[in-house]
């Protein structure tokens, strides 16, 4: 049975985060919580929320049958003195890793970062969280599956 391309994309992003981005974070001299995809909840691991949806295709993409997807990766961090630094560290590590593998291991034609947004808590020290949102545009030739 063939796997859906959307599931392949999600698996490739999870693998990118847990393996390559975590490895990049380990290279740096700071103790930064690693990415984890499980029910594990504590300050030593981060569980990002990944959403994938189809997006508008250009006329050229429609003609040559290329599927376009929009993805957002949301990372929430408890408000503390290092949260802002963590947001920028995750953002930088993800960008450095994606630049080296824009095809996500051959699953897609190209995955590009279209935006990165760091959102501080509206009121500091009130229990609200910092958030990093990384937006991507992913294109896949229609016959990849």
* Mean pLDDT value of segment 108-134: 90
CATH number at residue 91: 3.30.70
Non-local (6+) Cβ contacts of 30 within 8 A are: 85, 89
For residue 53, the enclosing domain spans 5-141
Non-local (6+) Cβ contacts of 107 within 8 A are: 5, 8, 9, 12, 140, 144
The yes-or-no verdict on residue 137 having pLDDT over 80 is yes
Query: Which tokens go with 34?
Result: 């690693």
How many domains does the structure of the chain reveal?
A: 1
pLDDT in tens, 77-91: 988 889 999 999 999
Helix (H) or strand (E) holding 95: helix 83-100
Q: Higher pLDDT residue, 43 or 17?
A: 17
Provide the pLDDT for residue 75.
95
Report d(CA 68, CA 139) in Å as an integer. Answer: 5
Report d(CA 100, CA 5) in Å as an integer. Answer: 21
Provide the pLDDT for residue 145.
46
Share of the chain above pLDDT 90, in %: 60
Residue 131 CB burial class (10 angstroms; 0-12, 13-18, ≥19): middle
pLDDT in tens, 18-34: 999 999 999 988 888 89
């Amino acid at each position: 049975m063939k796997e859906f391309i959307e599931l392949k994309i999600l698996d490739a992003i999870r693998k990118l985060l847990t393996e390559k981005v975590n490895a990049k974070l380990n290279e740096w001299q700071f103790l930064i919580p690693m990415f984890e995809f499980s029910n594990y909840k504590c300050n030593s691991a981060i569980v990002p929320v990944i959403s994938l949806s189809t997006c508008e295709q250009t006329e050229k993409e429609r003609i040559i049958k290329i599927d376009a997807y929009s993805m957002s990766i949301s990372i929430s961090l408890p408000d503390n003195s290092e949260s802002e630094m963590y947001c920028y560290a995750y953002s930088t590590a993800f960008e450095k890793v994606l630049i080296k593998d824009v095809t996500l291991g051959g699953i897609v034609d190209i995955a590009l970062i279209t935006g990165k947004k760091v959102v501080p808590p509206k009121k500091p020290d009130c229990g609200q969280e910092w958030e990093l949102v990384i937006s991507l545009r992913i294109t896949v030739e229609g016959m990849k599956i």
